[in-house]
Every structure is written in C-alpha cells, then in structure tokens.
Amino acid sequence: MRRVSERQAVRELSRHWRCRGERIGLVPTMGNLHAGHLALVDQLAGEVDRLVVSIFVNPLQFGPEEDYDAYPRTLEADLEALQGRGVDAVFAPSAGEMYPHGAPLTQVDVPALTGTLCGLDRPGHFAGVAVVVLKLLHLVEPDVAAFGAKDYQQLQVVRRAAADLDLPVAIRAVPIVREADGLALSSRNAYLDAEQRRRAPALYAALTELAEALAQGRRDFAALEAQGRERLAAAGFDAVDYVAIRRCDDLAEPAGEERRLVCLGAARLGAARLIDNVEARLIG
C-alpha cells in the first residue's frame, strides 16, 4: 500500500494503472476511519483491480463556527486500519497541495439539492464538498467511487454533479453501518459523553417510526415530521435542526404519489451534530 501526498503523483499512478487496462476504485474520506469507512473500502475492494482511498480534511466544507481545527486527524491509525484490505494507494495531501492557489475561485453548486435540509444550517458546505470531490475524481479518474448513505444529501449532490458534468464514474452508495443500538457510525460520535451517547440512538428510532408509518399508509407528512421533532426533544436532544420526509432522488417535498421516500433528520447533542436517514418503501 503506497502513501501518496502530491496531486501529480496520484494522477500518474492512476494513469499507469489505466494504461494497463485495470479498473480503478476511489473511496474519498476525511480520515479518522471507523467501520463505516471500512465498509466502503470493502465494498469496492472486491470489484476493482486497484483501489485508492483519499484522506483529506477539506477546509472548504467547514463553516466559520464549525470544527475544522478540532476535527480528529489520525493518519497513522488510519493507514494501519487500511492495511490488508486491498488498498493500493492512500492519497493524503495537505491543504496547500490540494489548493495551491488558496481557496478556489471556481464554485460548484447544485442549488435544487443544496438549498434545503443541511444546506440551510451549513451554507456553503455542499459547494465545498462538490469542489473537493470533483477534484478527486479528476485526479484519480476512477471507474467507481463509493460514498456512505448516511450522508444522504451529500450522496445526491455528488451523483447529480457527476451526471450533469458527464463524468465517467459510477457513484456507489454503501448502506449505513450502525452500532447495535442503531446509532449510525460517525467520526463526530467521539464528541458524545456517556449520557449523550445513551440518548443518541433516539434519532434512528424516530426516523424508523416515520418510515414505518409511511409504509402503513400515512400521508400526513407535516404531522409526521412534527411527531419526529417532538420525539427527539423528549429524548433530550439540545436542538433539532430538522426532521423531514422527502423524495429519494431529488429531495423535493412529496406530493403523495411517490413509492420511495426518505426520512431524514439532523439534531444536536452537545458538540455533536448527528445526521441519519431511513428510506421508506410505500405500498398501495
């Protein structure tokens, strides 16, 4: 497993593999790897010839009041965790290497998908995500790239940007990895103290309740969303950013005829902002 820190080096490595007719996979991460990240790696390792994992804490996707400086950086532990998992190269650039001219002047935005949900509370976040993901896709030129389904809105933004720009890459969604009590794995779970950790699974439980209600035929979407917010408040969350029922593909509010919806939520416990989602398949 090679460690690469320069853009030109990872580009040349990828093009060398491509000239040999090898299929390339990419797993973009911000490091501090946990079992959820490793599920992405394992998903692609079995279907590509060469696998690249990127580790880069992207400053563009952090707001001025967010945790960029405090975000855990555990590169040596991450490299150890990736050993023996079929990873051929780890691309771990510095911010100066990724953005040699400073903050990019070029913006990438998908306003229909970013002007809602997390985009309302984190202005500029998804534009920062889109820029770094597109840079990584151009540098590595993978045939397939894997993203976790926990970051559902991010997944849809990346899918749409890649499709709109005709990038020759398949965007693979990997199911959420959860703790035994349902809490979705996240690097930010480390911010939870013991009492907050006890309360945290209520987010998944509330969204599961909404998905089950939809599957059973309820269509009073606003009432269901209010029910979800009340459940989280009662569970002791410090703030509920949103509980929302949306169409899967475009995150638009449902009209009542859809057969696939997703229940999404974002809520805060202390310093941790937790997000989760549960898809609902409707009948009738």
Q: Is 10 within any annotated ligand binding site?
A: no
Q: Is 30 within any annotated ligand binding site?
A: yes
Q: How many residues does the chain have?
A: 284
Q: Which listed residue (16, 37, 101, 138) is catalytic?
A: 37
CB 173 within 8 A of CB 162: no
Q: Is 98 within any annotated ligand binding site?
A: no
Q: Is 188 within any annotated ligand binding site?
A: yes
- Exposed e or buried b for every residue in 103-136, given b needs 16+ CB within 10 A? eeeeebbbeebbebbbbeebebbbbbbbbbbbbb
Active site includes 37? yes
Q: Is 270 within any annotated ligand binding site?
A: no
Q: Is 128 within any annotated ligand binding site?
A: no
Which one-letter DSSP state was computed for residue 236?
Answer: T
Give the angle 47-53-54 at the CA atoms, nearest 5°: 150
Q: In what order do the strands lie in the sheet with 260-269?
A: 239-247, 260-269, 272-281
Torsion of CA 94, 100, 105, 111, to 10 degrees: -30
Q: Is 177 within any annotated ligand binding site?
A: yes
CB 1 within 8 A of CB 90: yes
Q: Is 138 within any annotated ligand binding site?
A: no
Q: Is 186 within any annotated ligand binding site?
A: yes
φ and ψ at residue 26, rounded to 5 degrees: -135, 135
Q: Is 1 within any annotated ligand binding site?
A: no
The pair of structure tokens assigned to 3 is: 């460690």
Give the angle 149-34-71 at the CA atoms, nearest 5°: 95
Q: Is 200 within any annotated ligand binding site?
A: no
Q: Is 149 within any annotated ligand binding site?
A: yes
Q: Is 150 within any annotated ligand binding site?
A: yes
Residues making up the annotated binding site for ATP are 30-37, 148-151, 177, 185-188
Residues making up the annotated binding site are 30-37, 61, 148-151, 154, 177, 185-188
Residues making up the annotated binding site for beta-alanine are 61
Residues making up the annotated binding site for (R)-pantoate are 61, 154
Q: Which residues are catalytic?
A: 37
